[in-house]
Chains A and B, each alone.
Chain A
């Protein structure tokens, strides 16, 4: 497997069950480009900062719960809004100054 494939497998494994990535017919769903960038940004940043995906997954599961469910809101938008919160919390938790 290539490095990116391995990363994707790690992401998938870490998030499955708790906050699985939005998909349709197996393919990742991005309603807007920023959602894909947020995912890409997280993959790159966690790897470079040596933060395990399990760490992020815990934050994400909580953020998804906190965000709640709104039937009018597109699924991926809700998911990636929670993702952003979780990503920031993970970075702050790792000692990064985001101000």
Chain B
């Protein structure tokens, strides 16, 4: 990196403490990769494959695309709610064998939230890795006993008249929440809408982003 050369000067003048440490780690990482490649333990191609998978293929962006499609395409939404597994499969996000995906829709009258009270079953193919709190015993127990209080702790204040339904995932059935489409997004293209769909909004512990917040 070009700024490596200037780091000693930066250090003396403006109190930047960290560029040097980052750079040390980077150099150390490069040296280690070269050494391990030399020993035949790693290859650049194998590392590239893993990195590209992490960067592109896992994570809630798959779920966000499903939600955005449902927001713009009423027929797709009907199929998604009727048979989640098949409709998600249409977009190419296939689950593990034998696993059924059920999509539940949030409305002003009904708010859905998912949990796995027994372990940590989670809709992997569409949401990627579960967050740590999803697997924590307090979330698993409390979201069932006192969902409104738990959602409030996530910063989600629901109207008193909104009903809350908690869906308990199993090894066979995984749930995905279809959040409400944010106001002020008429005419938005699918890929812009997908950016408003957060992981938490598909678990039910949050809402989709407001367009104003998203652009801020």
Contacts and interface: CB of A to CB of B under 8 A. Distances in A.
Interface of A: 1, 4-5, 7-9, 12, 16-17, 20, 23, 25-28, 30, 32, 34, 36-41, 43-45, 48-49, 72-74, 77, 80-81, 84, 87-88, 96, 98
Contact of A77 (B22, B124, B199): B22
Interface centre among A34, A36, A72, A87 (most CB of B within 10 A): A34
Given A8-B129, A41-B47, A48-B42, A34 B18 contact: no
B4 to A, nearest CB: 13
A96 B49 CA distance: 24
A96 B124 CA distance: 35
10 contacts: A4-B50, A16-B135, A27-B61, A34-B30, A36-B51, A37-B47, A40-B50, A80-B29, A81-B21, A81-B25
A44 B131 contact: no
Instruction: Give the interface residue-count category, chain B.
Output: 35 or more
A37 B51 CA distance: 6
Interface in B4-63: 17-18, 21-22, 24-26, 28-30, 32-33, 35-36, 39, 41-43, 46-51, 53-55, 58-61
A77 B43 CA distance: 24
Given A25-B198, A44-B42, A88-B32, A77 B25 contact: yes
A66 B88 CA distance: 44
Summarize B's interface: helix, strand, loop or mixed: helix
A36 to B, nearest CB: 5
Nearest to B132: A20
Contact of A36 (B42, B55, B135, B198): B55
Contacts of B42: 41, 44-45, 48
Contacts of A45: 36, 41-42
A23 B129 contact: yes
B89 to A, nearest CB: 16
A49 B30 contact: no
Contact of A16 (B22, B46, B128, B132): B132
B36 A41 contact: yes
B8 to A, nearest CB: 19
Contacts of B36: 41, 45
Contacts of B60: 25-27
A20 B131 CA distance: 9
